[in-house]
Amino acid sequence: MSSTTAHIEVAPRENRGGKMLAGVYRGKGSVVCEEVPVPEIGDGEVLFRVAACGICGTDIKKIANGFVPAPQIFGHELAGTVVEIGRGVRKFKAGDRVVSFHHVPCGTCFYCERKLFSQCPEYKKVGLTAGFTPNGGGFAQYVRAMPWIVERGMLAIPPGITFEEATFIEPVNTAAKAVWKGRVAKGEFAVVLGQGPIGMLLTGLVKLKGAEVVTTDPLAARRAASLRLGATASFDPASEDVEAQVRERTHGRGADVVLLAAPQPKLVTEALEIARPGGRVVLFAHNDPVLKIEFPAAAVGIEEKEILGSYSASITEQGEYARIVFERQLPLAQLVSDRFSTERIGEALQLAAHPTDSTLKVVITHS
């Protein structure tokens, strides 16, 4: 991944036809800082200036593997300030601080009725763009929100909540949905494998449910952050026998639920070994379209362990999950370890893809 080091003066948005800086995906492994047009908006739409955007693991996968055609502008964990509204917009005005999802379901189809929102055909339409094929756009200084996003996918940020904290709205929602899919309950024993940014959110949310949780990660800083989020213990999988540690804490049974926040195929087998008979395994990070997974059939067919998938956010719980962020029920501000300007987008993506021992959440801040 690469970026320019040039510093470009950006014109104020008052003049239509202005330019902005954006990290543009130009093909497998390449994101370049470029000057591109500020999006024009239409009726029912909103233009907002992005203040901060978190880097998601899904962004990294798409860029590193070239899963989508170039050019595109990624970034969907974003928050900023409304600078222009289209005709007919009543919910927001210029100057409002907002956070926005990049796609929302219709709410009425077969899948929405069953809370399978990410399978809704409408949900698959991305409604935020900074230009090119819509794909979030938070790696740019300005983003255009389309009408269905303005109506159902944008939230006002309360006073006192920072833009960086607000960028956690979407990832907290997706992680909370995974905890719901795993039916995590008070008094249960849970394990979260992997303490990247999503893994840490899963840990904190499991703890909020009243379950005991232990975690794993090879990086010491992430294990330490895991403890701050409520984990009873956190193990280095390279040097400790995680299954033995879990069984010691559960009278030999194993975990009630194991949540996978790291995509390695071998972890599915390990999770099944850690789970008790009748336990649940939730796959959160396994969304690679070419990844294949093998596991012992008896774990499911005889021991009756469940393998569950969870992808993206839940619209019906949007308000409830937003309150977790707005009420600071989790120490989210402490999870931001690195901030990069738009011009340094390439460095930011490299660090997010190859974290150091001190790397937690990496955020792009647009000036």
Single out the residue of 88, 106, 191 nearest to residue 149, CA to CA: 106
pLDDT the model gives residue 222: 96
The answer to whether the pTM exceeds 0.85 is yes
Structure-token pair, residue 187: 């008094």
pLDDT the model gives residue 15: 35
Give the CATH architecture of domain 19-171+314-365: Alpha-Beta Complex (3.90)
H or E segment and range at residue 172: helix 169-181
Strand partners, 275: 255
Strand partners, 214: 191, 233
Distances (CA, A) of 287 to 57, 280, 282, 311, 312: 10, 18, 12, 8, 10
**How many CA atoms lie less than 13 Å away from 240 in the CB half-sphere?**
15
**Polymer length of the chain:** 367
pLDDT in tens, the chain (367 residues): 433 332 222 233 333 469 999 999 999 999 999 999 999 999 999 999 999 999 999 999 999 999 899 999 999 999 999 999 999 999 999 999 999 999 999 999 999 999 899 999 999 999 999 999 999 999 999 999 999 999 999 999 999 999 999 999 999 999 999 999 999 999 999 999 999 999 999 999 999 999 999 999 999 999 999 999 999 999 999 999 999 999 999 999 999 999 999 989 999 999 999 999 999 999 998 887 888 899 999 999 999 999 999 998 888 888 999 999 999 999 999 999 999 999 999 999 999 999 999 999 999 999 8
d(CA 83, CA 286): 37
Domain 19-171+314-365 and domain 183-309 have a common topology: no
Q: In 10 A of CB 32, how many CB atoms? A: 17
pLDDT the model gives residue 17: 62
pLDDT the model gives residue 1: 45
Distances (CA, A) of 330 to 208, 286, 323, 333: 9, 25, 10, 9
d(CA 226, CA 217): 9
Distances (CA, A) of 196 to 85, 220, 334: 36, 11, 14
Local structure of residue 344 (DSSP, 8 states): G
Q: In 10 A of CB 337, how many CB atoms? A: 18
CATH 3.40.50.720 fits 183-309, yes or no: yes
pLDDT the model gives residue 290: 82
List the domain boundaries for the chain. Answer: 19-171+314-365, 183-309
Place of tokens 């619209």: 315
Find out whether 231 and 166 touch, Cβ atoms under 8 Å.
Answer: no
Structure-token pair, residue 82: 């409304």
User: ω before 218 within 30° of 0 (cis)?
Assistant: no
d(CA 332, CA 321): 13
